[in-house]
Structure 1
Amino acid sequence: MWVSVIPIVISVISLILLLVLVLRKDLGAGLRSEIIRLDEKLQGLNSLIGKTEQAIRDEARFNRQEIAQSLKNLSDSSEQKLENMRQTITNHLQAIQRSNEEKLEQMRATVDEKLQSTLEKRLSESFNQVSERLESVHKGLGEMQKLASEVGNLKNVLSNIKTRGTLGEIQLEKILEQTLTPSQYEKNAKINGKIVEFAIKLPGKDEEEVLLPIDSKFPIRTYEELLDAQEKSSCELVEELSKRLENEIKLQARDISDKYIAPPKTTDFAIMFLPIEGLFAEVLRRPGLFQSLQSQYKIMVTGPTTFNAILTSLQMGFKTLAIEKQASEVWNLLAAVKTDFGKFTETLEGVKRNLTAASNKIEEAEKRTRIIGKKLKDVQALPAQQAEGILGPAEDIEDEPRETE
């Protein structure tokens, strides 16, 4: 590229010099000759440059040919190496593929075997679970059928007036059994020729028992109709049924009051037991009904929870009375002990006098012993065996009777 530029530069310089010559004709002859000489040199230089350029072009052509041949040789060598590498890689890939296929086949066989065993195991477990659940469902259906039968029986029981009364009586008896002892209440107690379901025995005057009558009532039909009306949100029907329930409760309270309240054999009030808390709540919900039953008929209405609380209070009263009775007995016992203790004091004083007299006798004997010892101090003592031979053994000496004061 630079070789082709040089002639252009020289030509430009020559043109410039010619222009200078044309523009300055008044230059000296020496300068013109010098310019001519320079022009000749430039022409020679231009010729030399042309030759050099041709030589460079020839050299470049030769170099291009060598480079092309080298590139061809390199390309052929690279293609051969690439072919060899491709072949080697192909062989390796084929070997890897065969190895992978073999391993995949082994893995497939192993997986198939494990899947088969797992599938069989899972299927077996699933069948067992399904069987167990079916059995549970079958059992649950049996229990539901049994429950439905029991519900039907309960419905039949609740629809029968006599059986409803029996149900309330059974529940009442269970509560009494759990709270009181059998001696504290009486079942089917007879009052004025009438039989009341239960009566609690309370202490009265002169240790005579006073009975507290308890009777269970269960107006279930009206109560169920009231619940249905409340679910349907029928205000008028609810009020009508509530009034009917109130009247039924009042009639039953009057019946209990007329039959079973008979002082002094009984208390001046009786208890009406309602076996359902909801029914008891309806009685409390009616304005003034609870107070009216107490003031007009002397009847206390209770539900299961309230009745339990009343029995607990009565049980505490029974325990308090028992404690007071036992305290009286303990007081009498202490009075008797006090009397005996006075006699015991007299006995102790007599023993003390006897001990004092005995102590005086012992002191007197000690004094006499010391006196005898002083009198016998000049007498020579005999050996023990010889003294025993003269006086005899101590066991043979009989105690002389003591002189009483």
Structure 2
Amino acid sequence: MNDIFSILAEPVARLGATTVTLGQMLGFIAVLFVTLLVALVVALWRAAKARAVAATEAADHARDTEARMAGILQSQAEMQGRLGAVAEVFGARQAELTQSIGQRLDAMTGRLGQTMSEQTRSTHESLAKLQERLAVIDTAQTNIQSLAGQVVQLQAILSNKQTRGAFGQSRMEAIVADGLPHGAYEFQATLSNGSRPDCLVKMPNDTPSLVVDAKFPLEAWNAIRAAEGEAAQKLAAQAFRRDVEIHIRDIADKYLISGETQDTAFMFVPSESVFAEIHENFEAIVQRAHRARIVIVSPSLLMLSIQVIQAILKDARMREQAHLIQGEVVRLMEDVSRLDERVRKLQNHFGQASRDIDDILVSSSKVTKRGQKIEALEFGAAHPEGEDPQRGAAAKIETVRAADSKTGQLRLRVVEETE
């Protein structure tokens, strides 16, 4: 026994300053077991009570459910009847809806078919127009290819010095030939000093001719365009300025002959862009040309100058033919006088004819009135001279046509009325 107590008194754990023995531990476990057992018994009792209450509630709920089921069955029967009626109504409505939908589908199908046919026709027309436009595009592409070939040929022409000079010459000749009449100009004419300018425009009134030169130094200009770098461009600009000044001096020395040519000559530049570049960046060349009495002209300025010369030539020809024009004007005035005399005679004839027509209309009006009186069988009684016909007695003959009911013949009744 003492051994048991000693075993129970042995410490088994330490909690801070408190030492827990084996006996205390066993006592604590026993108390805990009893507490758990009591709690289990209470829980079983409560569960049994809850099951009883639940059973009671389930019975009440079952009774309520049976009552509700009966009501539901009754409502279901009523609902079935209503559903039958609704089904019949829905069947009728469905048939009407099906018929309406069928009709609308037929109409829609017809419209859709018509729309599809119109769309197909429109598509065919659009495709036809597209084919026509593609044909036009093919033609334009062919023209563009041909133009590209011509541009390549033009580039090949301009790459050669002789052909490039011929190009400027041909352009100048085209402008002059289009603006002046034949005989007012001469290409490659020979002057008294043996030089041959590109074009010689003959001025009126035996005045000296105007010289047009088309040999512009385009090689130096192309060198400026092809130069790369500031130094190269500067050298090319100096070479271009030198070549143009030499060409201006040559024109002044060869083509400005006193008494044979005008004291001013044209230097033709076959490009508007080159002309604008010269006036913008080479002002010294322009001033040098002005001092040498050389005018630098572009195609548009040459065309304008040719038009002015054409107007001068026309004015000169008109002055030469002034006496002929005056004679023609005199004869024209004589013709106008004769025409005026004949128009006046014709006007008198028309006046007489108008008066004759008025007399004829008066006579025809009288004849018409007499015919109307004869048709109405109305004759006015003869009145003595000085007597007023409105106050005298007037006899009227009234013809009455009536169909006899027995004979069917017409009878006449003469009624005399006096005022």
Normalised to the residue count of structure 2, the TM-score between the two structures is 0.51
Aligned to 1:154: 154
User: How far apart, CA to CA, are the structure 2 residues paired with 1:217 and 1:115?
Assistant: 71
Q: Normalized per residue, which structure has more helix?
A: 1
Among candidates 253, 273, 278, match of residue 258 of structure 1? 253
1:213 aligned residue: 211
Indicate how the Cα distance of structure 1 residues 102 and 317 shifts in structure 2: closer, same or farther if over 3 A, else same: closer
CA distance 1:93–1:221, change in 2 (3 Å): farther
**Aligned residue type for 2:140:** G
Unaligned residue ranges in structure 2 (runs of 5+):
1-70, 328-419
Q: Call closer, same or farther: CA 1:77–1:165 in 2, change over 3 Å.
A: same
Residue 180 of structure 1 corresponds to 180
Q: 2:87 aligns to what?
A: 87
Aligned to 1:141: 141
Aligned to 1:194: 195
Instruction: Work out whether 1:223 is the aligned partner of 2:218.
Output: no
Task: Give the letter aligned to residue 241 of structure 2.
Answer: E
Amino acid of the structure 1 residue aligned with 2:186: E
What secondary structure, in the 3-state scheme, does the structure 1 residue paired with 2:261 have? coil
Q: SS where residue 138 of structure 2 aligns?
A: helix
Is the Cα–Cα contact under 8 Å of residues 244 and 285 in structure 2 kept in the other structure? no
For the 8 Å contact 1:158–1:220, the answer to whether it is kept is: no
The answer to whether the Cα contact below 8 Å between 1:261 and 1:269 also exists between their aligned partners in 2 is yes
2: distance between equivalents of 1:326 and 1:112? Answer: 81
Once superposed, what is the RMSD of the aligned Cα atoms? Answer: 3.8
Tell me, in whole angstroms, the C-alpha distance in 2 between the residues paired with 1:322 and 1:113: 78
**Cα gap change, 1:104/1:316 in structure 2, threshold over 3 Å: closer, same or farther?**
closer
Distance in 1 between residues matched to 2:132 and 2:316, nearest whole Å: 61
Which residue pairs with 1:306 in the alignment? 301
Letter in 2 for 1:193: G
Question: In 2 relative to 1, CA 78–236 (structure 1 residues): closer, same or farther, beyond 3 Å?
Answer: farther
- What is the match of residue 394 of structure 2? none
Distance 1:239 1:208, change over 3 A: same
Tell me what 1:249 maps to.
Answer: 244
Instruction: Quote the Cα distance in structure 2 between the aligned partners of 1:301 and 1:114.
Output: 72
Indicate whether 1:282 and 2:280 are aligned: no
Larger radius of gyration: 1
Identity %: 24
TM-score, normalised with respect to structure 1 = 0.52
Equivalent-residue separation in structure 1 for 2:319 and 2:97 (angstroms): 105
Asked if the contact 1:179–1:315 (Cα under 8 Å) also holds between the matched residues in 2, the reply is: yes
Structure 1 pair 237/121, CA: closer, same or farther in 2 (3 Å)? Answer: farther
Contact 1:226 1:242 in 2 (8 A): yes
C-alpha deviations, 1:262-320, integer Å up to 9, x for none? 2222233322111211112222221221121232x442211122223333444454455
SS in structure 1 of the partner of residue 295 of structure 2: strand
Match of 1:359 in 2: none
Distance 1:277 1:82, change over 3 A: same
CA distance in 1, matches of 2:321, 2:125: 71
Q: Distance in 2 between matches of 1:292 and 1:252?
A: 11
**C-alpha contact 2:157 2:163 (8 A) present in aligned 1:** yes
Deviations 1:76-116 (A, max 9, x none): 99757734541332222321343145335535643664465
Amino acid at match of 2:124: S
Specify the code of the residue in structure 2 equivalent to 1:259.
K
- Which structure has more relative contact order (CA 8 Å, sep 6+)? It is 1
What is the CA distance between 1:157 and its match in structure 2?
A: 1.9
Contact 2:268–2:302 (CA<8 Å) still a contact in 1? yes
1:269 alignment partner, one of 261, 264, 281:
264
Runs (5+) with no aligned partner, structure 1: 1-70, 334-405
The letter for the 2-side match of 1:89 is V
Post-superposition CA distance 1:156-185 (Å, at most 9, x none): 222222222222222222322333322332
| Deviation of the 1:190 alpha carbon | 0.8
Structure 1 residues 228 and 92, CA gap change in structure 2 (3 angstroms) = farther
**Partner Cα separation in structure 2 for residue 268 and residue 98 of structure 1:** 105
Asked whether the 8 Å contact 1:159–1:221 carries over to 2, the reply is no
Matched residues, number? 254
